[in-house]
């Protein structure tokens, strides 16, 4: 039965990747449909989450609604109960990580996508100090005290876990080695107690820490904050407040088109009972729902601004090397320059100060800011009372970064990290067992489907421009991204690097 079940769901995962083609992003319709956000529990009654606001399925704009995709996902959700991907009583995956991966990532999968690469940090006992500055978990590193830094995920202990698993509430402390310009983990606090490198529980503590951080990335930073907060509310505010011929609408359009349709589908597929989140990660269905409700309000727009976020965490120019920070700042700087140059076209600063005055008299922009500040927890730091061209450009760049770089590093990018469960388990069992075959297979297929082909950021979007000057700005952005790509390709390739050619212009499947 497991062979049949596994084969059936592998074909479905393969089919979703094989048939998906990059979305063609049309011009905005002459009249954009208004969207009134409602609690997730009202939009999808099977998911009892009240604080998260989403677009009701009935209000998904007709210009992005796909009846075929909606039908496919309805069938998939029905199959969760009719022929679940999960089967009780299965043995654990092979002790050899290569054999475990080869068994789950079959020849059929490989016809569409390459297997993951092993990060250098996972070749031996995981190097938490390196992961603190390199790769998808670097965003958690923050200053604790003089020469001391931390990952603080202690709040994850609040949420209900499946039976037999270690709780994920954890705090990792790192010490700065100024001579080598590196961080070294020296203490991990978890339900095992306070453990150091010389203690017998150190290796298990590291597994709990990595399980915690990758779980938080997938559930909170990726799905809750990138999908349900940032991109969704950007799309709602843009549709509700910016006329289709407004220059800012044209700039934002490729980053938000299709968001509501995509979010509706994947929310149902991942968050309902029996969905990916409950069956793969440590938390029960009720624990997951509570996690989403309680972390929704923790979102801060600044996390989508690498430089300002690093300053807030006090890790910038702190005496240790930060390669991922430099990588992300290079990407953000190109987006910021593009946003600023584009806005200068339509709000020229002649005489000096004219651009700020013009923006403050542009009612659609002010209404757009009002809506963003109303929808997004803790606001966007720019309002009708303090907006300038520079602050607006930085906000626009933050949204561009959220949808492209942030979404990539929190989602598809985990392909090279999350499948190596011998180093970074997706569940940490108290009896020491490895993940059962069905849990690991579903983890592989879920990550596989994150890598469907989507519209690349490096693309000619000049057709969205209102005029010749706008076309030049779009072309310059495309050229700058290609130049950064070429520069990065002259350096050795590494799994932790985020390359411009890997970025997608929107989050849509």
Q: Are 413 and 450 in contact (CB under 8 A)?
A: no
Burial class for 72, CB neighbours closer than 10 Å (0-12, 13-18, 19+):
middle
Residues composing the chain = 509
Strand partners, 187: 173
Q: Are 244 and 28 in contact (CB under 8 A)?
A: yes
Instruction: Lay out the sheet containing 170-177: strands in order across.
Output: 142-145, 148-153, 170-177, 182-190, 193-195
Q: Are 364 and 370 in contact (CB under 8 A)?
A: no
* Residue 509, pLDDT score: 55
Report cis status (omega within 30 of 0) of the bond before 425: no
* Residue 192, pLDDT score: 97
* Residue 189, pLDDT score: 98
Residue 251: count other Cβ atoms within 10 Å of its Cβ.
27
> Domains of the chain: which residue ranges?
2-118+208-502
Residue 183: count other Cβ atoms within 10 Å of its Cβ.
29
**Average pLDDT across the chain, whole number:** 95
Closest by Cα among 220, 254, 217, 219 to 234: 254
The Cα–Cα gap between 204 and 428 comes to 9
Q: Is 351 left (phi over 0), alpha (psi -120 to 50) or beta?
A: beta
* Residue 74, pLDDT score: 84
Closest by Cα among 247, 290, 296, 308 to 464: 247
Angle (CA) 426-429-434 rounded to 5° is: 65
Q: Are 483 and 317 in contact (CB under 8 A)?
A: no
* Residue 433, pLDDT score: 96
In the chain, what is the straight-line distance between the N-terminal and C-terminal CA atoms, in Å? Answer: 30
Helix (H) or strand (E) holding 418: helix 415-418
Q: Report CA dihedral (22, 8, 450, 41) to the nearest 10 degrees.
A: 100
The Cα–Cα gap between 185 and 449 comes to 33
- For residue range 105-142, list pLDDT tens digits in order: 999 999 999 999 999 999 999 999 999 999 999 999 99
At 109, list the tokens: 């999968």
Please, which residues have CB within 8 angstroms of residue 472's CB and are 6 or more apart in sequence? none
Task: Give 1-44 as a DSSP string.
Answer: -HHHHHHHHHHHHHHHHHH--PPP-PPPPSSPPP---EEHHHHS
Pairing relation of β-strands 142-145 and 148-153? Answer: antiparallel
Written as tens digits, the pLDDT of the chain (509 aa) is 999 999 999 999 999 999 888 989 999 998 888 999 999 999 999 999 999 999 999 999 999 888 887 888 888 888 888 999 999 999 999 999 999 999 999 999 999 999 999 999 999 999 999 999 999 999 999 999 999 999 999 999 999 999 999 999 999 999 999 999 999 999 999 999 999 999 999 999 999 999 999 999 999 999 999 999 999 999 999 999 999 999 999 999 999 999 999 899 899 989 999 999 999 999 999 999 999 999 999 999 999 999 999 999 999 999 999 999 999 999 999 999 999 999 999 999 989 999 999 999 999 999 999 999 999 999 999 999 999 999 999 999 999 999 999 999 999 999 999 999 999 999 999 999 999 999 999 999 999 999 999 999 999 999 999 999 999 999 999 999 999 999 999 999 999 999 999 999 988 75
The Cα–Cα gap between 13 and 444 comes to 10
Q: Are 105 and 113 in contact (CB under 8 A)?
A: no
The Cα–Cα gap between 395 and 386 comes to 12
* Residue 376, pLDDT score: 97
Task: Give 194-215 as a DSSP string.
Answer: EE-TTSTTHHHHHHHHHHHHHH
The Cα–Cα gap between 178 and 144 comes to 16
b vs e for 233-250, b when ≥16 Cβ sit within 10 Å of the residue's Cβ?
A: bbbbbbbbbbeeebbbbb
The Cα–Cα gap between 105 and 113 comes to 10
b vs e for 206-226, b when ≥16 Cβ sit within 10 Å of the residue's Cβ?
A: bbbbbbbbbbbbbbbbbbbbb
pTM, full prediction: 0.96
- Domain 2-118+208-502 sits in CATH at 1.20.245.10
Give φ, ψ of 38 to 5 degrees: -130, 160
The Cα–Cα gap between 229 and 377 comes to 8
């Amino acid at each position: 039965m497991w062979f049949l079940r596994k084969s059936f769901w592998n074909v479905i995962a393969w089919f979703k990747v094989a048939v998906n083609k990059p979305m063609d992003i049309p011009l905005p319709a002459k009249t954009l449909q208004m969207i009134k956000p409602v609690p997730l529990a009202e939009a999808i009654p099977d998911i009892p989450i009240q604080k998260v606001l989403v677009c009701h399925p009935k209000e998904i704009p007709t210009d992005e609604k796909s009846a075929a995709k909606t039908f496919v996902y309805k069938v998939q959700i029905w199959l969760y109960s009719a022929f679940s991907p999960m089967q009780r009583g299965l043995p654990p995956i092979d002790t050899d990580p290569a054999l475990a991966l080869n068994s789950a990532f079959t020849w059929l999968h490989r016809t569409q996508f390459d297997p993951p690469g092993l990060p250098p940090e996972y070749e031996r006992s995981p190097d938490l100090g390196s992961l603190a500055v390199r790769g998808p978990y670097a965003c958690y590193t923050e200053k604790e005290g003089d020469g001391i830094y931390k990952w603080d995920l202690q709040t994850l202990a609040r949420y209900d876990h499946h039976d037999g698993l270690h709780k994920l509430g954890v705090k990792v402390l790192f010490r700065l080695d100024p001579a080598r310009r590196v961080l070294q983990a020296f203490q991990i606090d978890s339900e095992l107690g306070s453990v150091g490198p010389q203690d017998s529980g150190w290796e298990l503590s590291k597994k709990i820490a990595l399980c915690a951080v990758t779980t938080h990335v997938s559930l909170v930073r990726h799905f809750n904050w990138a999908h349900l907060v940032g991109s969704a509310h950007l799309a709602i505010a843009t549709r509700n407040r910016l006329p289709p011929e407004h220059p800012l609408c044209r700039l934002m359009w490729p980053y938000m088109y299709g968001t509501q349709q995509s979010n509706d589908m994947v929310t149902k597929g991942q968050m309902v009972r029996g969905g990916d989140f409950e069956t793969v990660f440590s938390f029960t269905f009720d624990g997951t729902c509570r996690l989403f409700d309680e972390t929704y309000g923790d979102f801060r727009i600044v996390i989508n601004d690498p430089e300002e976020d690093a300053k807030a965490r006090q890790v910038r120019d702190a005496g240790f090397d930060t390669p991922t920070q430099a990588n992300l700042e290079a990407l953000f700087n190109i987006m910021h320059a593009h946003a600023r140059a584009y806005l200068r076209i339509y709000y020229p600063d002649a005489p000096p100060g004219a651009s700020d005055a013009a923006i403050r008299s542009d009612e659609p922009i002010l209404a757009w800011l009002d809506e963003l500040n109303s929808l997004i927890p803790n606001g966007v730091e720019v309002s009708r009372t303090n907006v300038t061209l520079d602050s607006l450009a930085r906000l626009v760049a933050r949204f561009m970064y959220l949808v492209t770089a942030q979404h990539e590093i929190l989602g598809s990018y985990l392909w090279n990290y999350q499948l190596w469960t011998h180093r970074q388990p997706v569940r940490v069992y108290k009896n020491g067992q490895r993940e059962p075959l069905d849990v690991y297979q579903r983890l592989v297929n879920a990550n596989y489907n994150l890598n469907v082909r989507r519209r690349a950021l490096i693309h000619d979007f000049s057709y969205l421009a209102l005029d010749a000057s706008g076309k030049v700005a779009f072309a310059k952005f495309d050229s700058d991204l290609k130049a950064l790509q070429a520069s990065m390709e002259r350096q050795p390739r590494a799994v932790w690097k985020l390359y411009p050619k890997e970025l997608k212009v929107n989050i849509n499947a």
